[in-house]
Amino acid sequence: MKRVVVTGMALASPLGCSVDGAFENLYKYKNCVEKWEELDEFENMNTRLAAPVRDFVTPSHFNRKITRTMGRVALMSTAVTEEALKDAGLLGDDVISNGETGVSYGSSSGSLESIIDFYTMQVEKKVRCVNSGSYIKMMPQTTTVNISLYFKTKGRLIPTSTACTSGSMGIGYAYEAIKNGYQTVMIAGGADELHPSHIAIFDTLYATSLKNDTPELTPAPFDRDRDGLVLGEGAGTLILEEYGHAKKRNAKIYAEIIGFGTSTDGTHITNPNHETMGSALALALKDAGISPDEIGYVNAHGTATQHGDIAESLATYDIFKRNVPISSIKSYTGHTLGACGAIEAILSVKMMQNNRYAPTLNLHNIDENCAKLDYISGEAREINTDIVMSNNFAFGGINTSLIFKKV
């Protein structure tokens, strides 16, 4: 089995569009949630909150030929991947286009505006909005294929459109592709764009926060007085590389991935099952060959929904059997759906490098129904640990767990 390391990272997030900038913004202890005016035109929409990416700019060298098959989600994914490859020192390297590099990437869906174009055609019985790039923009694998096309990769292509685990699943499958010797380099991650229809889905499930006049007070993962999630958007790319290949070219190494676990609940399409959620964590630990005691911090999925928070905390305690330190990045960025697994993995690695772990915002009174874990709140925590875990869970009962280690 090959060792797998992270040699490049980049993101576009509500916290910012550079890794260092986003990391620094964690310690301002202020979330990125705002009252999103785009929601005001929709009747019966209860929430008015969102966490958009405000400073993403399409690169000037992305001409029309490049962007004609890209909606916002593919644009963010491809631009962020370009920055990650630069960070890894691999942009333009032969390894990217000679078949040794693959892409494992996902989003909850394609661009919603293009999907609406097809719907408009059906309603009006007129081909008016659809063009040659419409399907490519809307298809669930739009991020994966646009990244592959732009960088001319010829290796494995693994679309991971698994809702909120799209990013973490993309990283996990990329890790396995290198670990088992199928690829030398993998472009891994996930993305999603903000759209009113995404928000409406959760709003109809009564899962969205209604603190429309106090956006700074929500979401509040694990808090007794939380009232739901807030949707965000973004993209995150990690460049994974076989350890020997990275060492040979003297690449900087952010971390090593030593474990990945994934499982499905097989019980309910939206309600989480803490026992099968825990099995993903157990599988990641088994893959890493370590005990739970060796992990010093857990990055929680932490959506600020009642069922999700409680089930996740119980699953975590079932595996760790102790009050392991834990916090949720979603209290800053909102729930970025397909991007969250990648953005949170990147920030978890940064926290591990700096031995400084961000608190969960708006956590004042821990829900008594949540398991007894060490919930980081108030201020950042100094923790000297070599190993961290990052967990994500999705509709469909899809569970993932990633374990990173200092090199």
245 is catalytic: no
Catalytic residue of the set 195, 301, 340, 370: 301
Backbone angles phi, psi at 114, to 5 degrees: -70, -35
Rounded CA gap, 342 and 170, in Å?
Answer: 8
**Beta-sheet strands, E only, within 129-220:** 157-159, 185-192
Rounded CA gap, 381 and 394, in Å?
Answer: 28
* Nearest CA-CA partner of 39 in 303, 306, 234, 231: 231
329 near 299, Cβ under 8 Å? yes
* Nearest CA-CA partner of 6 in 300, 352, 382: 352
Rounded CA gap, 321 and 370, in Å?
Answer: 14
Catalytic residue of the set 164, 195, 340, 370: 164
Catalytic residue of the set 195, 198, 274, 335: 335
340 is catalytic: no
**Beta-sheet strands, E only, within 94-250:** 101-106, 157-159, 185-192, 234-242
Rounded CA gap, 196 and 194, in Å?
Answer: 7
Q: Which residues are within 8 A (CB) of 30 and not within 5 positions of it... i.e. 6 or more apart? A: 216, 332, 361
129 is catalytic: no
Active site residues per annotation: 164, 301, 335
